[in-house]
Every structure is written in structure tokens, then in C-alpha cells.
């Protein structure tokens, strides 16, 4: 039926997953809710059934158009939208950007035949958290889904860096966390980088939501971040630099 999302039934027992920030304290204990957005309908159903076999994933619905996507996101509140770049029309970046504005806490993973640097940068700029090439196969898709659900970028490091350079202001790029932010502020930024709401960050860190908002105000003032998304990208870039030593 036009305008309606197509929910799929769960299969088997779900293994619950844990989101963590800061010192590794749990935020929630839950399966990853996935919304599949692709065509044709048969391929959509086959992909949904495959994903349902994974014990930590739960397919909450399928959508074949932007209108169905909006309705399904509103109804099911998925953690991740698995978005077929070629299937849903000629303006995929526009759809991704509109979905991000409408549902900023739902993450988008794009899967595409053409996974060029230009395409990857375009979807990251639109608001997706990653792009996985269809030719890489099912294991790569699963790895990408789980990474994006955890709030991580899924893209080649060089390409992700280019996208960050285009999205994040020059002032923000010059900042370095150790000298600019307090330890608690960095823990809050980590939560933002993982796509968590203020309430979830507060729960993870054992502080009030008002305190989280206060820390975020300080972070925005210090970093000149133009948006929460820009701050999220920057925090992930800083985390990568810290891991590289």
C-alpha cells in the first residue's frame, strides 16, 4: 500500500548489544533496530530475512520510498537505516539530508554499487555515517552496520578526513582536545560522537542532563562547532588521532 512501511517479523532470539562511552559504562542493553530501504521488493525481503538471522540485529521494517522511510522511522525509531544509494531515486543525498534533519538520532548507512571517493564524501556530507560497497559482500555489510550503530564512521580513513575537512570549520580543525577541553567535556563529546542523546550521555556518566547541557555549551564555545553533527565528526577525528598516538 502506498505510503506504508512494510514491517518484517523477527526471527529467533535476539542477542542484546551494549553501547559504551567514557570509561566503558553501559548506556543501554538492546538489539540493533534496522530499517531496510531498497528496491525491488523481493531483494528488500531477502536482505531483511538475512539480517534477521543475526542475533544482535532486528529488522523493524522495510521502505521503498522517502515517504515510507519517514513513516517507518517515526513508527519504529530504528537505530540504523540501511539505505540503497541507487534504488531510491536520483537525489539520494537530498533524501539522506532530509532524513537526518527529521530524525537526527537515526543513523544512516549507505550501500552502493559506485563507492567512489566522490560518492562517499557526498553521502557523508549529507549526513550518513558511512558507505559500504555492494561488491564487498555480506560480511562487510554486517561489519559496517554494527560500526554505524555504535556511532562510528564507516569509510576509508583518507576519504573520511576529506569529508571532515569540508564539514568542520577551520577554527574547529585547529583545536586539540587535551589543551582545550576538560576530561569531563571530552567524555560528553565522546557521547555526541557516538550519536547519543543528552539523556543517554547523562545516564552513562552518572550526571544530570542539565550538567550535560552545560558541558556542551562550554564545548561549543571553545571549539566554535557549527552543529552537533560537526562536533560529532570532529570528535571521531580526534579519537582516531589519539589512537594513532
Domain membership of residue 146 (yes or no) is yes
Cell representation of residue 214: 552545560
Cβ contacts of 184 within 8 Å, gap of 6 or more: 205, 207, 215
Instruction: Name the 3-class secondary structure at 135.
Output: helix
- 139, 239: one domain: no
CATH number for the domain harbouring residue 99? 3.40.50.2300
Give the strands of the sheet with 57-63, arranged side by side: 57-63, 32-37, 80-84, 107-112, 130-133
For the chain, what is the total number of helices (H) and then of strands (E)? Answer: 12, 7
Last residue of a domain, one of 162, 178, 199: 162
Task: Please check whether residues 150 and 53 belong to one and the same domain.
Answer: yes
Co-location of 208 and 143 in the same domain: no
Structural element, H or E, at residue 84 = strand 80-84
Q: How far is CA 48 from CA 105, 138, 177, in A?
A: 22, 12, 41
Q: Residue 66 has what pLDDT?
A: 92
30 and 108 in a single domain? The answer is yes
Query: Structural domain tally of the chain?
Result: 2
In a domain, residue 9? The reply is no
Using DSSP bridges, classify how beta strands 32-37 and 80-84 pair: parallel, antiparallel or unpaired. Answer: parallel
Q: Do 131 and 82 form a contact (C-beta atoms < 8 A)?
A: no
* Residue ranges making up the domain that contains 235: 168-244
Q: Which uninterrupted H or E stretch holds 193?
A: helix 183-193
- Of the residues 127, 162, 197, the one at which a domain ends: 162
Among candidate residues 140, 162, 184, the one where a domain is terminated? 162
153 & 173 share domain: no
Q: Is residue 220 part of a domain?
A: yes
Verify that 95 and 71 share a domain, yes or no.
yes
Residues 151 and 73 grouped into a single domain: yes
- Give the DSSP H or E segment for 143: helix 138-149
Asked if residue 186 and residue 98 are part of one domain, the reply reads no
Residue 11, in any domain of the structure? no
Q: What is the CATH number of the domain that holds 191?
A: 1.10.10.10
Q: Give Cα 179 to chain centroid, integer Å.
A: 28
Does 77 fall in a domain? Answer: yes
Q: What is the value of pTM for the model shown?
A: 0.64
On whether both 179 and 158 belong to a single domain, the answer is no
Picking from 154, 161, 100, 152, the residue whose alpha carbon sits closest to that of residue 126 is: 100
Q: What is the pLDDT of residue 179?
A: 55
Q: Tell me, yes or no, whether 199 and 128 share the same domain.
A: no
4 in a structural domain: no
Same domain, yes or no: 39 and 120: yes
pLDDT at 228: 73
Digitized pLDDT (tens) for each residue of the chain, 245 residues in all: 444 444 433 333 333 333 433 333 333 457 899 999 999 999 999 999 999 999 999 999 999 999 999 999 999 999 999 999 998 877 899 999 899 888 888 999 999 987 788 888 888 888 888 899 888 889 999 999 998 888 777 877 666 666 666 655 544 555 554 457 888 998 898 888 776 778 888 999 999 999 998 998 888 887 776 667 667 767 766 665 565 55
| Measured CA angle at 164 (ends 35, 216), to 5 deg | 80
**Per the structure block, which three cell numbers stand in for 213?**
547541557
Amino acid at each position: 500500500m502506498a505510503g506504508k512501511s512494510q514491517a518484517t517479523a523477527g526471527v529467533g532470539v535476539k542477542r542484546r548489544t551494549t553501547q559504551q562511552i567514557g570509561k566503558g559504562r553501559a548506556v543501554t542493553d538492546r538489539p540493533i533496530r534496522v530499517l531496510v530501504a531498497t528496491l525491488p521488493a523481493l531483494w528488500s525481503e531477502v536482505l531483511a530475512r538475512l539480517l534477521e538471522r543475526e542475533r544482535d540485529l532486528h529488522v523493524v521494517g522495510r521502505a521503498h520510498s522517502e515517504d515510507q522511510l519517514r513513516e517507518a522511522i517515526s513508527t519504529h525509531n530504528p537505530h540504523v537505516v540501511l539505505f540503497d544509494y541507487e534504488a531510491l531515486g536520483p537525489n539520494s543525498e537530498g533524501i539522506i539530508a532530509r532524513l537526518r534533519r527529521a530524525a537526527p538520532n537515526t543513523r544512516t548507512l549507505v550501500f552502493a554499487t559506485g563507492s567512489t571517493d566522490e560518492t562517499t564524501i557526498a553521502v557523508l556530507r549529507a549526513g550518513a555515517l558511512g558507505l559500504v560497497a555492494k561488491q564487498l559482500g555480506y560480511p562487510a555489510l554486517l561489519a559496517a552496520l554494527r560500526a554505524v550503530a555504535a556511532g562510528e564512521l564507516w569509510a576509508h580513513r583518507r576519504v573520511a578526513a576529506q569529508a571532515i575537512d569540508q564539514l568542520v570549520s577551520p577554527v574547529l580543525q585547529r583545536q586539540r582536545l587535551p589543551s582545550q577541553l576538560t576530561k569531563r567535556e571530552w567524555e560528553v563529546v565522546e557521547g555526541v560522537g557516538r550519536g547519543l542523546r543528552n539523556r543517554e550521555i547523562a545516564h552513562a556518566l552518572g550526571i544530570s542532563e542539565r550538567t550535560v547541557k552545560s558541558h556542551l555549551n562550554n564545548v561549543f564555545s571553545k571549539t566554535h562547532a557549527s552543529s552537533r553533527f560537526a562536533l560529532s565528526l570532529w570528535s571521531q577525528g580526534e579519537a582516531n588521532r589519539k589512537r594513532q598516538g
